[in-house]
Amino acid sequence: MYDEVYEAMQKAGVAIRLAEPIWVDKEQQETDQENAFGQKATHLLTRPDFVIFVDEVGSNLSQEGDGAVGGERKIVGSGSGPRESPTTNGTHFTVLGFTPATSEPIMCAVIVKGKTMRLETVTGLDVFATKK
């Protein structure tokens, strides 16, 4: 897989293959092993701003088994009790973080499993809001 990725990066013009692996620092400058960052480099990035890394993590929205202990106190308004019940329905979600090789974050995408999606969720607009 790595060979395929490196080959594609070379074809795209965002990386070059080195004749021999070398030790490099965080700025891709050649250095000795003591000052190196990571393993020996076989490639150098020519356009780190064009290389995007994506990392994903997933979980479930169910609160069942989340470690809450019976008798746990909640802060609520005077004269009322908490109207909260934990959801036990399992709804999986995935979060994707997009970051270029230059280290500045680009965006975060959240994917929630479901059968239908409301229009305001897609557009980010309240379609029933009154016009001002």
The domains of the chain are located at: 1-50, 53-63+87-132
What is the DSSP-derived secondary structure letter of residue 24? B
On the question of pLDDT at 6 being above 80, the answer is yes
**Overall average pLDDT of the 114-120 stretch:** 76
Residue type, 26: K
Question: What does the alpha-carbon distance between residue 6 and residue 16 come to, in Å, rounded to a whole number?
Answer: 9
Q: Would the pLDDT of 81 be above 60?
A: yes
Instruction: Compute the distance between CA of residue 17 and CA of residue 119 in angstroms, rounded to an integer.
Output: 47
- The reply to whether the predicted model has a pTM over 0.75 is no
- Give residue-wise pLDDT tens across range 54-77: 999 998 877 666 555 555 666 777
Rounded Cα distance between 63 and 94, Å, is 16
pLDDT in tens, 15-62: 999 999 999 999 999 999 999 999 999 999 999 999 999 999 998 877
8-state DSSP, 13: T
Q: 10 Å Cβ neighbour count for 31?
A: 15
